[in-house]
Structures are given as structure tokens and as C-alpha cells.
Amino acid sequence: MVKVGSAFPITMGIQALDSVLIYQEGFSALTGYLLPLLLYGISGLGLAYILLMKEIMD
């Protein structure tokens, strides 16, 4: 359950904000959280693009 929870984008966002606001770490500490978040965003936008394109073509 902990592994599933840590794979969610909200958990990564909270951890990224923790490292920025509480631990005050630099950019290198954030890349581990930002890259999966970017992957989530790109995959979501890509899926939306494919489905919208299919809907328009139909």
C-alpha cells in the first residue's frame, strides 16, 4: 500500500514541496519527483490528444 501510495502524483508533489519548503534542498533533489510528474502529465495529455483526435475523426 505504501508503494502504491508513493507512486501517485499527489505523493510526489507533496514530497517535492516538502523538500523545497521544509528541507530547503536544491534542484538536484527535486528531479526524482519532477520527472515522474512530467511523465504523468505528458502521458495524460497524449492520451487526451489521441482520444480527442479519434472523436473528431469519427
Partner 1 sequence: MLLNEKTYRIRSLYNSLANVAQKGSELHEKLKRTDIKLQEMQELMGNYTFEISNIRENISNIETTTVILDQVKVRSAGVSTRMDNLSTEMTNSTQDLISEIDRTKGILGEVRIKSPAAIAAPIKLERNPVFRDMTYLDFLMPAIVSIVLMFISFLLSSITIVQERTKKTLLRTLLTPLSLEEFIFAKTSALILIAMLQGIILVVVAFLFYGVLIPANQLGLLFLVILVYSAAFIGIGMAVATFAESENTAMLSSLVLSIPMLFLCGVFSRLRLCRN
Residues that contact partner 1, how many (by CB under 8 A) = 41
DSSP three-state, residue 44: helix
Quick one: 44 exposed, middle or buried, by C-beta within 10 A (0-12, 13-18, 19+)?
Answer: exposed
Q: x/- string (CB under 8 A) for partner 1, residues 32-51?
A: -xx--xx-xxxxxxxxxx-x
Residue 18 sits in the site that holds partner 1 (CB under 8 A): yes
Quick one: 57 exposed, middle or buried, by C-beta within 10 A (0-12, 13-18, 19+)?
Answer: exposed
Task: List residues near partner 1 by CB under 8 A.
Answer: 1-2, 4-6, 8-14, 16-18, 20-22, 24, 26-27, 30, 33-34, 37-38, 40-49, 51-53, 55-56
